[in-house]
Amino acid sequence: MYRLNKRAWKLLLAEIEKCSGNDQVSQIEKQIVIKRLEKLRLEKGSPAGIDELREAVVDIYPQFSQKVLKQAAKANRPSRIFSKIKWVVILAGSSAGVVWVANLPDPMIRWPVARTAPMLLLPSYMSMDYHYRGVIQNLEQADQLINKATSPVDIQEGAKKVQQAQKHLDNLPVWFLGYYPEGYCTWFRCSWRFTVDEFEAAREKAARINAIAFQDKNALTPLNQGEQAIQLAKQQYEQATTTQDREKAIASWQAGIDQLEEIPAETLAAKTAKSKLKAYKRDFENARIGSFITAAQEFDLAAEKIKPTQPQTASQLWQQAINRINEVPLENPRYLEAQKLMAMYQSKIQGLVDPKSSKIIAGAKQFAQAAAQASQNPPHTATKWEQIAKLWSKAIDQLEDVRVEDPDYVEAQKLLASYQTNLGIIETRLQAETESQSALKQANEQIQSLIASPPSDPQQFQAQIQGIINQLNTIKPGTTAYPEGQRLIALAQQRLKQ
């Protein structure tokens, strides 16, 4: 006979549905109660009575209907043994003083009583059973809330559950470690064996969950501070009217992003920050590049105003503008715009100090601009990469004509270093394109040869296909041959599986 029959189970389940809510905590509580009752359904022995059914639900649902409990107990056909237990409790009540003394938390008293009259320790057994259930229930809820948190509310609720579990742990009778009350558990079907290892495991789990909750709660502070710093920096940037104010806002913006990136990775706050950081960094980069270009334009306006009377100062202002423009990287979408501005500012400086060198540098920048524009939207064929490389080489040749004694020699050398770097990048891309096309050609030749003369040995056939795949894998990403190579790899892999 199972301890909880189907009829009683249905009555209790219907009332559980009425008592439970729809939030995450309520669903966890519901699962805990159902798990307890399912355990009774799988256990064989005397039928569970109203007291045991009440213990299974009342700590989670104090509002659970007493009427339903009575109906379920009646439907479950309670055993006569519970009347004996009630009789024992009544006798114990008549000797309240003796029971009180027997249940004092003193091993010298309890051990003899446990051996000779264990029923006198019924209050201690019930207390131990209650607090043990409290530990398990609250730790299960805390574990669910903390490790599967979706909001700060889950973390707060999980921390509360850990504290409640710790209170139950503190109330467990540590003096009874390793003792199993067979008489009590024969009547009440104890689901526990209170051992030293189990007690220590519960303590360690509570401490671990508490530490996770503490870390999660602490991580919310830098998350909030970082987001507030970023929002404030955005507002300051939008309201800034000078270069200094914009750069100050940019610095605050970067500090906010750095704070979010330093949040411990295993926390809920880090997961939340990670989902937002991509957008924050994109907006930050756009603002940073926009700040460089805007600052350069402001320096240009200031230089134009004082050029007739203070040409040397105007030249310095244009140099400041060029320094800002140099911060715009080659891969940025506004690179071409920045290069046009740089060419204009360089022309203005050179027009002031040395018209000849100014024309040389202006010509070199035209070639550089054409090369940068042709480089957009890769990949390109090897022929086009060669054309782009020639443009950079032409710009370099122009700059090398600026003499050491020319006033613009230093600026020409800066541009020369930049252009030589860009030429190196283009030459690398050209080499990758050439090698990848060669690898694709060889792979196609191997494919045609395999189709024309396939080997009769299946293993040799597969080995040749694998060789073709290895050849195709040498094709580098970012080349015109790469998409075709990937398509052929996929076809070859399908052939291997056949």
Contact 475, 379 (CB under 8 A): no
pLDDT at 129: 65
In the chain, where the domains are located: 443-497
H or E, element range at 460: helix 458-472
Residue 453, by phi and psi: left (phi above 0), alpha (psi -120 to 50) or beta? beta
User: For residue 33, which of 75, 76, 62, 67 has the smallest C-alpha distance?
Assistant: 62
Q: Is the pLDDT of residue 236 over 50?
A: yes
Q: Is the pLDDT of residue 467 over 70?
A: yes
Comparing 385 with 334, the larger pLDDT belongs to 385
pLDDT at 85: 42
pTM: 0.37
Which residues lie closer than 8 Å to 164 by C-beta, 6 or more apart?
134, 138
* Rounded Cα gap, residues 395 and 422, in angstroms: 11
Long-range CB contacts (within 8 A, 24+) of 112-119: 114/179, 114/181, 118/181, 118/183, 118/184, 119/88, 119/92, 119/183, 119/184
> Which of 83-92, 134-143, 304-313 has the weakest average pLDDT?
83-92
What is the average per-residue pLDDT within 50-65?
Answer: 83
* pLDDT tier, 484 (very low <50, low <70, confident <90, very high otherwise): very high
Cβ neighbour number for residue 389 with a 10 Å cutoff: 19
Calculate what percentage of the chain has a pLDDT beyond 90.
20
Cβ neighbour number for residue 97 with a 10 Å cutoff: 8
